[in-house]
Amino acid sequence: MKRPASILILVSIIALILGWGIGSFFTQRTIAKVIASIPGSPIVIDAKYDKENHSITYSILNPGGVPLTIVDESFVFTPGKNSKEQGYIVSHVPVHAVLPPGVVTRVELKLKAGTEKLQIGDAVLATFTYVHPLSTDLYTVAHPFKMGVGGKNVAEQKKGNKGGK
């Protein structure tokens, strides 16, 4: 085998790499814990109108590390040219939808019962009020939705606004 000096150098190099690995492991775990304690603001990535249930299903991503809870839904219905329905506002429908961290959750918004099905050009501005466990404040996210053209339910590409801070 080699000389003792070369054995010692070899062991020292591996010890340095090992120490580096241990240090970066604990640094990474600390950072991961910090990130996991930061609440994010939900992003509505998709909205689809369900004709049979007369409801809109929103896909909401929670990009933060703590679960968010939607406690309240409000929406404003604005008729388009094709609709015979009058405009109306439904506010403060209590819900309890938990958005787990890092995943997309589907949240259903029921439109007013007894009203007509959505026509092309109709707009629904939905406002979700949510809370997170770190404070007692209420936050909102608003998402404008417009029935698409060609019979397809195309969601507006506009992102929901962040709530007040």
Partner 1 sequence: MQRVLWWIAFGLFIAVIVLGIFLFSLVIAAHPEAAAFVIGFLGFWLFANRLIFGYGGIANAAKAFLDGEIPDKSEIAQKIAKSPEAAQLQKLEDLSVAALLSLWLSSLEPFKYAYYLGFFLVFLIATLFELNIISSIVIGPIAEAVMLGAAIPTLLVWGLELLASYYVGKAVVKALEEMKEEKSEAGSQNGQQNQ
Binding site for partner 1 (CB under 8 A): 1-4, 7-8, 10-11, 14-15, 18, 21-22, 25-26, 29
Output 22 or 134, the one with its CB closest to partner 1.
22
Smallest distance from the beta carbon of 28 to partner 1, in angstroms?
9
- Radius of gyration, CA atoms only, the chain: 25
Taking the C-alpha atoms of residue 99 and residue 65, their distance in angstroms, rounded to an integer, is: 11
Output 21 or 87, the one with its CB closest to partner 1.
21
Taking the C-alpha atoms of residue 91 and residue 97, their distance in angstroms, rounded to an integer, is: 17
Smallest distance from the beta carbon of 66 to partner 1, in angstroms?
14
Smallest distance from the beta carbon of 29 to partner 1, in angstroms?
5
Enumerate the β-bridge partners of residue 75: 90, 126
Output 24 or 161, the one with its CB closest to partner 1.
24
Cβ neighbors of 60 (< 8 A, separation 6 or more) are 42, 43, 44, 45, 70, 99, 104, 105, 106, 107, 128
Q: Are 126 and 56 in contact (CB under 8 A)?
A: yes
Smallest distance from the beta carbon of 130 to partner 1, in angstroms?
24
Output 9 or 93, the one with its CB closest to partner 1.
9
Smallest distance from the beta carbon of 1 to partner 1, in angstroms?
5
- 61: buried, middle or exposed (CB in 10 Å: 19+, 13-18, 0-12)? middle
Output 13 or 138, the one with its CB closest to partner 1.
13
Phi, psi values for residue 152, rounded to 5°: -95, 150
